[in-house]
Amino acid sequence: MELPTAKSQLLWQLLLLLVLGACHAQFDEVHEDSEREAWLHGVFTPQPLRAAPWEVDAVTPPPPPPSGGVHVPGVGQVFGLRGYQFIKNRPIDAFLGIRYAQVSSGLGRFQPARAAPYQPIVNATQSSPNCAQFPEVQRLQVAEARGENVDDCLTLDVYAPAGARELPVLVFVHGEMLFDGGAEEAQPDYLLEHDVILVSVNYRLAPFGFLAALTQELPGNVALSDLQQALEWVQRNIRYFGGSSNQITVIGQAGGATLAHALSLSPKTQHLFQQLILQSGTALNPYLIDERPLETLATFAQLARCPSAGRNLSPLYECLSRLRTSELASIFEQLLLQNEPRGLSALGGFKLVVGDSLGYLPEHPAALVASNSANNTLKPAVIGATKDASAFIVSRFYDQIQRLQSQNISDYINVVLRHTAPPQQHKIWHDLAIREIFTPEQLRYVNARSVSQGLVELSNLILYRAPVVYSIRSSYKKNPTYLYTFDYRGEFHRFAHFGNPLPFGVDASLSDDSVYLFPYPKDASNLNPQDKSLARALVAMWVSFAQNGIPNQNSNVWPKATSEYGPFLRFTNSRLSILELDQHFGESINVPNIYAQYFNTTNSTSTTTTTTTTTRRPYYPEQPYRPPQQPQYRQPAFNDYYAGEQEVRRQQLLREQQERDLKLSEQQEREQQQQEELLREEEERQREQQQRETELQRELQQRAQFEREQRQREQQQREYEARQHVDEDEQDERELQQREYELRLQQERQQEREQQEREQTDREQQAHLLPMDSEEQRLQQEREEQERAQEEREQESREQHEREQQQREQLEREQQEREQQEREQQEREQQGRGEQTYATNEENAPDPSAYPSYEDYVKAYTLWVEELSSLYNPESFASAEQEASPDDELANDRYAQPDENQLYSDNNPQRIKLMRRYQRFSF
Ligand SMILES: *[C@@H]1O[C@H](CO)[C@@H](O)[C@H](O)[C@H]1NC(C)=O
Ligand SMILES: *[C@@H]1O[C@H](CO)[C@@H](O)[C@H](O)[C@H]1NC(C)=O
Ligand SMILES: *[C@@H]1O[C@H](CO)[C@@H](O)[C@H](O)[C@H]1NC(C)=O
Ligand SMILES: *[C@@H]1O[C@H](CO)[C@@H](O)[C@H](O)[C@H]1NC(C)=O
Ligand SMILES: *[C@@H]1O[C@H](CO)[C@@H](O)[C@H](O)[C@H]1NC(C)=O
């Protein structure tokens, strides 16, 4: 028993040791030293166990990129069109419609876009449609009907020579007026004869790019944020297409130049590119700065029938976000058509705004120019304008000039100023125009024809030339700046299809220089040899600038500006050379110093004294230029100054806002009053109607009552008459009885008398001796006869009296009846006047043909009510107008005259409709 016990004890101990050892070994396997420490100290927190080797998934390698195309990290595999064109025997690749950002829907259409997501495969074989714009409303409507997203238009096109590497990049910002145009305007044909990459960008236009409440929701200047995203895309990705992100030149045309300049001034975007080419546009062009963005918004809201809110803008946002993109584009067109004739101050919605909530233009561009100059952050630039760039804008309001018929030049100048300059500058420009632009002859003999040329010069100066001068004034010394004007008149104009209302032909209108840069539009793409050689020169210089920062290696051909006026290069039709060097960019007119408040130096114009213009100008050297007197202005410290400016601007915007709120509330009050008035009128009408109905009811009752009474009266009358008859009969009977009685009495008396006579005669016969008795008898007889006659007379007079009485009663009855009839007649007539006639009972029903029936009355009344309500229903109003338009044939031809004879014949239904329409209008 002992041995096995000892043995088993040993065995147990061994077993225990084995188990402990095994446990320890396992512990070692799983835990690190530190963990063991923690374990030993009792503070271990368990960690997830590592997966066993057999549990680890095999790592799936990413799918290999599809072959072909350009692999762009973060973008995708971009498939474009290899060998899109062969230019100078070199294949050019095109990558079309690459999405660089995504526009959200609703209110997002007015807000900065989101980054475009990565797509494994990017199909870049088709250029995308233009961003939404009113000239393409039909396309938008069709696309919307197909359920396409017309807002997502932020694409760019890249053109690159095959196998390009590290080439300079030209990023084109298309024109024209920031409410139209598209990336398609930049085609590679001319530029890509050279070693450059061309990028052309779509950005949002008009309301989608610029409508502003200066809030987070409607920030304004969203087009600039689009271009920023495009430039960032180019920065990140252009090297995959053979471009160099260190040599990016942004080139803008017209409105696009305004944006390009703004990009170069904005602290948010100026680092994204190196150089600038501005063709007929700067950020200082007053035409493209909305001085009253909130008023523009109010007008837009009004046209959109959106609540043009005061301080609470959310109903407006709500409304705008609901409207379709095509509708918003149409509303902008309405705004343009409605407000353009009223001049610059009333026209916005497609312009830069100062103080956008995104921070692109924290200050007026002139202030940014000044501070960029001070910080030396302006870029090397080619800046210029076509000779008659403003003719495009002048021709839009030239009708107002033609209509003037004034002998006073000021009237003409003022029209131009209303359309081109902010009001605070009008006097300065007006005086300058009289002094510098118009000749004494033009001032003496004033008419639209004779002053047109001068007016175009003035507007050129205000919109294009002076802003260029202001833009480079404080920077030309530090930054190479190349000035040009494009005076060349070739075979094509960029906007030939617009026609020219001006009384003279223009040499180079807005964007005519682009005709020689890009083969666009197609009509203008087939250049004649002379135009082609100019195109070669222009393109060579633009490319040279992009490549080297110098447009022409020969500095004698195109030197950089040494003053804010020049020297500058002029592209001309001169036989000797298409290029001329000239000295004074302001056409020999020194620009007034209207932005003095933004610049530290106010009198640098004094540096230019001599001009050597080769073109004759209407310029009079007898009147030397005197800079206009600027009010003495003490410059505050730089930053304080801008802070102050900002504050002033904020205050002003607030004031404007308040004024607008006030106006709005007044408007609303007026509308409220109108509404109430309408309601009151409606109530009045209803009350009248009710009154009429109750009257009608009452009259009906009265009439019924009256008829009842009448019937009763008649009945009574009849009964009375009947009674009367009975009475008469009784009377007759009584009379008869009386007469019979009297007759009987007479007979009896006669008999008595005869008896007496007989007795008398008997007595006389018996005794003749009694004569006295016969005498008495005779007397007695006479008395009796007299009594009888008396009685008869009385009887007769009684009968007579009765007859008379009856006649009187008869007359009275007749009289009553007549009066009754007259009363009835009167009542009937009254009812007839009130258009309220009705069939009465058979006996005295009026002639049915003389009165409308009750149904007629109801019909007439319903018609009247319908007509009345149509007065307040614009839809049926419009349809009535349509109805009123003479006939289909005429409706189709809106210039056709209606046939007057037909129209004015009295029973023509159209005439009646027209008359009704005019009556409505005169309401
Ligand atoms: C790109 O799209 C076009 C038309 O939508 C189509 O014909 C073409 O095959 C597509 N290309 C690629 C590479 O997907
Ligand atoms: C210029 O520099 C000042 C400070 O030196 C700065 O506040 C301002 O934002 C700069 N302006 C621009 C346009 O960069
Ligand atoms: C022309 O009109 C302006 C006002 O618009 C007036 O001040 C000026 O005296 C007028 N000039 C002449 C010559 O009548
Ligand atoms: C403005 O000019 C004054 C001297 O005229 C100079 O001292 C100052 O530094 C200038 N300021 C700027 C921002 O250039
Ligand atoms: C501006 O003119 C004044 C005198 O008229 C002169 O003293 C000053 O130096 C000028 N400033 C510049 C920047 O030319």
| Domain shared by 193 and 335, yes or no | yes
State the pLDDT at residue 860.
67
State the pLDDT at residue 558.
95
* Residue located nearest, by CA, to atom 1 of ligand 1: 123
Q: Can you tell me the distance from the alpha carbon of 837 to that of 916, in angstroms, rounded to the nearest whole number?
A: 28
| Domain shared by 115 and 196, yes or no | yes
pLDDT at 614 over 70: no
- 398 falls in which pLDDT band (50, 70, 90)? very high
pLDDT at 173 over 50: yes
| Domain shared by 30 and 113, yes or no | no
* Residue located nearest, by CA, to atom 13 of ligand 3: 408
Both structure tokens of 682: 């409606």
More confident residue, 67 or 430: 430
Burial 436-452 (b: 16+ CB within 10 A, else e): bbbeeebeeebbbebbb
Is 244 inside any structural domain? yes
Closest CA to 557 of 543, 569, 547: 569
Which helix (H) or strand (E) is 98 found in, with range? strand 90-99
In terms of C-beta density within 10 A (0-12 exposed, 13-18 middle, 19 or more buried), how is residue 253 classed? Answer: buried
* Residue located nearest, by CA, to atom 3 of ligand 4: 600
| Domain shared by 258 and 176, yes or no | yes
| Domain shared by 100 and 43, yes or no | no
For residue 376, the CA-to-ligand 5 centroid distance in Å is: 21
Both structure tokens of 462: 């205000």
β-pairing verdict for 70-72 and 76-79: antiparallel
| Domain shared by 246 and 127, yes or no | yes
For residue 601, the CA-to-ligand 4 centroid distance in Å is: 8
- Would you tell me how many other CB atoms lie within 10 Å of the CB of residue 284? 26
Mean pLDDT of 730-752: 75
* Residue located nearest, by CA, to atom 7 of ligand 5: 603
Mean pLDDT of 539-554: 95
Burial 764-802 (b: 16+ CB within 10 A, else e): eeeeeeeeeeeeeeeeeeeeeeeeeeeeeeeeeeeeeee
| Domain shared by 218 and 340, yes or no | yes
Given 357, 379, 401, which residue is the final one in a domain? 379
Is 138 inside any structural domain? yes
**For the ranges 4-13, 538-547, 753-762, the one whose mean pLDDT is highest:** 538-547
Is 787 inside any structural domain? no
**Sole residue written with tokens 């599809």:** 66
Is 807 inside any structural domain? no
More confident residue, 215 or 710: 215
Q: Count the domains in the chain.
A: 3
Q: Where are the alpha helices (DSSP H) in 60-173?
A: 137-145
Output the 3-class SS for 392-439: HHHHHHHHHHHCCCCCCHHHHHHHHHHHHCCHHHHHHHHHHHHHHHCC
Beta carbon of 374 within 6 Å of any ligand 4 atom = yes
pLDDT at 411 over 80: yes
For the question of whether the overall pTM of this predicted structure is more than 0.75, the answer is no
Looking at the CA of 430, name the nearest ligand: 3
State the pLDDT at residue 560.
95
**CATH number of domain containing 171:** 3.40.50.1820
* Residue located nearest, by CA, to atom 6 of ligand 3: 410
* Residue located nearest, by CA, to atom 13 of ligand 1: 123
Q: Which domain, by its residues, includes 913?
A: 873-921
Given 379, 405, 435, which residue is the final one in a domain? 379
For residue 632, the CA-to-ligand 1 centroid distance in Å is: 66
| Domain shared by 113 and 186, yes or no | yes
State the pLDDT at residue 891.
41
For residue 65, the CA-to-ligand 1 centroid distance in Å is: 17
Beta carbon of 407 within 6 Å of any ligand 3 atom = no
State the pLDDT at residue 27.
45
Which helix (H) or strand (E) is 87 found in, with range? strand 81-87
Pocket test for ligand 4, best of 473, 600, 633, 634 (most atoms within 8 A of CB): 600
Q: CA 226 → CA 100, 205, 223, 229, 363, distances in Å?
A: 9, 10, 5, 5, 20
| Domain shared by 274 and 219, yes or no | yes
pLDDT at 77 over 50: yes
| Domain shared by 114 and 28, yes or no | no
Which helix (H) or strand (E) is 79 found in, with range? strand 76-79
Is 557 inside any structural domain? no
Q: Can you tell me the distance from the alpha carbon of 794 to that of 801, in angstroms, rounded to the nearest whole number?
A: 10
**Sole residue written with tokens 């009896």:** 748
Beta strand residue intervals within 254-294, DSSP E: 275-279, 289-290
pLDDT at 441 over 90: no
Mean pLDDT of 106-112: 97
Mean pLDDT of 736-765: 73
* Residue located nearest, by CA, to atom 14 of ligand 4: 374
pLDDT at 209 over 70: yes
Beta carbon of 555 within 6 Å of any ligand 3 atom = no
Which atom of ligand 3 is closest in space to residue 408's alpha carbon?
A: 1
State the pLDDT at residue 879.
47
State the pLDDT at residue 890.
41
For residue 194, the CA-to-ligand 1 centroid distance in Å is: 29
* Residue located nearest, by CA, to atom 2 of ligand 3: 410
Mean pLDDT of 462-466: 97
Q: Can you tell me the distance from the alpha carbon of 103 to that of 114, in angstroms, rounded to the nearest whole number?
A: 6
Query: Across all residues in the chain, what is the average pLDDT?
Result: 81
Pocket of ligand 5 (CB under 6 A): 601, 603-604
Provide the percentage of residues in the chain whose pLDDT is more than 90: 49
Beta carbon of 710 within 6 Å of any ligand 1 atom = no
* Residues sharing a CB contact under 8 Å with residue 55, sequence separation 6 or more, in sequence order: none
Is 182 inside any structural domain? yes
pLDDT digits (tens, 9 = 90+) for 674-685: 888 888 888 888
For residue 363, the CA-to-ligand 3 centroid distance in Å is: 36
* Residues sharing a CB contact under 8 Å with residue 326, sequence separation 6 or more, in sequence order: 132, 137, 140, 141, 144, 150
Which atom of ligand 2 is closest in space to residue 372's alpha carbon?
A: 13
In terms of C-beta density within 10 A (0-12 exposed, 13-18 middle, 19 or more buried), how is residue 631 classed? Answer: exposed
Asked if 183 contacts 253 with a C-beta cutoff of 8 angstroms, the reply is no
| Domain shared by 166 and 260, yes or no | yes
Is 302 inside any structural domain? yes
Looking at the CA of 427, name the nearest ligand: 3
Give helix then strand counts, H and E, for the chain.
24, 18
State the pLDDT at residue 639.
37
Given 48, 65, 88, which residue is the final one in a domain? 48
Burial 636-651 (b: 16+ CB within 10 A, else e): eeeeeebeebeeeeee
pLDDT at 756 over 70: yes
In terms of C-beta density within 10 A (0-12 exposed, 13-18 middle, 19 or more buried), how is residue 271 classed? Answer: exposed
Beta carbon of 367 within 6 Å of any ligand 2 atom = no
State the pLDDT at residue 7.
65
- 5 falls in which pLDDT band (50, 70, 90)? low
For residue 125, the CA-to-ligand 1 centroid distance in Å is: 7
**Poorest-confidence range of 186-195, 855-864, 887-896?**
887-896
| Sheet with 76-79, edge to edge strand ranges | 70-72, 76-79, 121-123
| Domain shared by 30 and 139, yes or no | no
**Sole residue written with tokens 């006030």:** 662
pLDDT at 54 over 70: no
Asked if 228 contacts 149 with a C-beta cutoff of 8 angstroms, the reply is no
- 101 falls in which pLDDT band (50, 70, 90)? very high
pLDDT digits (tens, 9 = 90+) for 417-433: 999 999 999 999 999 99
Is 222 inside any structural domain? yes
